[in-house]
Amino acid sequence: MDSIAVNGGAQLYGEIPVSGAKNSAIKLMAASILTAEPVRLTNMPRLADTKFLGQLLRQFGMTVTESDGPDGQQTLFDARELTSTFAPYDLVRQMRASFNVLGPLLARTGHAKVSLPGGCTIGARPVDLHIDALSKLGAAIELEEGYVSATAPKGLKGAEIEFPFVSVGATEHTLMAAVLAQGTTVLRRAAREPEIGDLVRCLISMGAKIEGVDTDTLTITGVTSLTGTDWAVIPDRIEMGSYACAAAMAGGEVRLTKARPELIDALTVKMVEAGVEVTPTEDGVIIKRDRARRLKAVDVATEVYPGFATDLQAQFMALMTTADGVSTIHENIFENRFMHAPELARLGADISVHAGEAKVTGVEWLRGAPVMATDLRASVSLVIAGLAAEGETTIGRVYHLDRGFERLEEKLGACGAEIRRIHGPPVEGPADEH
């Protein structure tokens, strides 16, 4: 399997364009099932995850065509004829979010059989909320041999659904099913992530009737059919935040373009508090840091949006490893998301973990060593740490990284990072996609 080698010490100067958001693109791809008309998504990232989901959509008889258009990378989805509504385990297991095809298939055709997604390396993420919501919309659900069989031969019916806690996946999944349900559906305690707002706006452009965008209460009035659309995927706020941390870790000055800095305010506020210069621009943000001055340790706690994103926790921990003082990091979203801490310790970081809290005592420098990625965001945190470590850091199992970062070595290398990929035999990664 591939690995990435980083020779630390080089400061970063230049420009990094931010790709389209993975966590938005994969849900918009699932939404294309809902219409018999073509859906063209622009600003599409080319990632392992979008490739996996594209294979699954083809399993249903859809055509999926990638190309470079006047608006950059684009993909055309055509679900005119759905020849199957079966999602096998071999495809779904490669990415948990694939389970979210169940609702659109059910809403469009009245039946679907989708594999349960399997385990996750960063903690339990059960699909109970998804299944319960579809049941409330009138679906008959059967669980057998690891598969969910759902039927609604007379169509789904609107319902009032209050989630017991905020769930991004359950909100998106229920929303996609409800747009074709008869009557009105109200979703309370809905997640408010920007990617959900992107999905809502795209569905509205397809003819869906949805009120309450960007709030925790969504009201959906079902329609009988949706049209096709052209839609630009929003910029990836997690990629943007990751490169912001990378620039701050290495020192120098990096301009992030094609970005929306307001989507990572919770991160940049903490970065400024730590001593990083953050300057918004017309199409992004400039990250600047004088490496001669140590950063100051600051505390963070992950929260649902608009709070500090759990998907940026590992990257910020890497940044704090050489800060002056002790940083306390509380992980409130996933119960097992500090697996990168032992790997950062291999580089010389001083980190102690107890339950959902990590204390990071800043050291003066890190030293390169072989390390192993455990999930997507952990893998990029090791790259970030490696940028400032003395000597060479080699990160193994970077198939995790390829799930969510497009041309990472090229983007960092263009700014002066000494980074290269070491090719190995291909490998299929686990189901974690965050």
Annotated binding residues for UDP-N-acetyl-alpha-D-glucosamine: 96, 125-129, 311, 333
Q: Is the peptide bond before 17 cis (omega within 30 degrees of 0)?
A: no
Task: Show binding-site residues.
Answer: 22-23, 96, 125-129, 311, 333
Q: What b/e readout covers 37-52, taking b as 16+ CB neighbours within 10 angstroms?
A: bbbbbbbbbebbbbeb
Helices marked H in 258-396: 265-274, 313-320, 340-346, 376-388
Of all helices (H) and strands (E), which one includes residue 64? strand 63-69
Instruction: In whole angstroms, give the CA distance from residue 307 to residue 310.
Output: 9
Q: Are 392 and 3 in contact (CB under 8 A)?
A: no
Task: Show binding-site residues for phosphoenolpyruvate.
Answer: 22-23
Strand ranges inside 132-233, DSSP E: 140-144, 147-151, 160-162, 184-188, 209-211, 217-221, 229-232
Q: Are 175 and 133 in contact (CB under 8 A)?
A: no
Catalytic residues: 120
Strand order in the sheet with 140-144: 86-87, 111-115, 147-151, 140-144
Q: What are the distances in angstroms from CA 11 to CA 33, 109, 251, 314?
A: 45, 54, 5, 21
